[in-house]
Amino acid sequence: MKKVLLIFVLFLVIMSCGSNTKKLTGIYELRELNVDGLDKFTNPIFLEFKDDQTFALSLVNGDFLGFYSLNGSVLKLSSESGGRFNASWKITDYKDRLLLEGLDEGFTVTKMIFNKIAVVPSFEEFEAKILGEWQIYKTRNNGKMERVTDTYMTIGQSAYAIRLKNDTIEQGLAVINTRHRRIIFENEDMKWKAWFYGDELRLTNPNNGFQYDLRKID
């Protein structure tokens, strides 16, 4: 009788793990990285959990494969990428949103938030969307917002220009890094973080947080 009961308990545990694994499967995009209360998000990261308890990871420095196990609220990741993706995390699932809180030494003050997505976005699509004529209508600096008038920006495949009314006030070479979602402007040699808020473009200086808000001109 005890043997039958033990087998039944083990069966329930296995079924529970399988159910949790199935619930976790899918593709996720890193949206927030917080370390000791500071925002450390820099580059897009894509993570795909598969139902065979393996995962695929797309990082700036390459793509990796790994294994994962889910035991209750503890998610253990094992991969050659090392770092955060070779550690244990407390996982909280809010429908299509995952919160991972570090459990291992070195990551106890680290939190990651992933949103579930249907497919990994095309990097070429990002470049096509960013090219064109934009109006700079707002700047943000240290929490202060300032309205901007009559200022426009043209972003081409290899050059950019900023105009005030009809006068060009700045121009130069531009390099669009589609994989890392960065634009390097010749005059500053700074890798500006480029991201979209709906149909609007945001350019953020990663060093000081200064931000341009832009609207597309039809």
**Residues of the chain predicted below pLDDT 70:** 1-22, 60-62, 123, 179-180, 187-189
pLDDT at 114: 95
Tell me how far apart the alpha carbons of residues 130 and 175 are, in angstroms, rounded to a whole number: 12
Question: CA nearest 60: which of 81, 90, 79, 40?
Answer: 81
The CATH code for residues 123-216 is 2.40.128.280
80: CB partners within 8 A, 6+ apart: 64, 65, 66, 86
Residue ranges of the chain that CATH labels 2.40.128.280: 26-117, 123-216
pLDDT in tens, 56-113: 988 766 688 999 999 999 999 999 888 999 999 999 988 889 999 999 999 999 999 9
Contact present, 195 and 181 (Cβ < 8 Å): yes
Residue 60 has φ and ψ, to the nearest 5°, of -60, -40
Choose the CATH number for 26-117 among 3.40.50.960, 3.40.50.300, 2.40.128.280, 1.10.260.40.
2.40.128.280
pLDDT at 16: 43
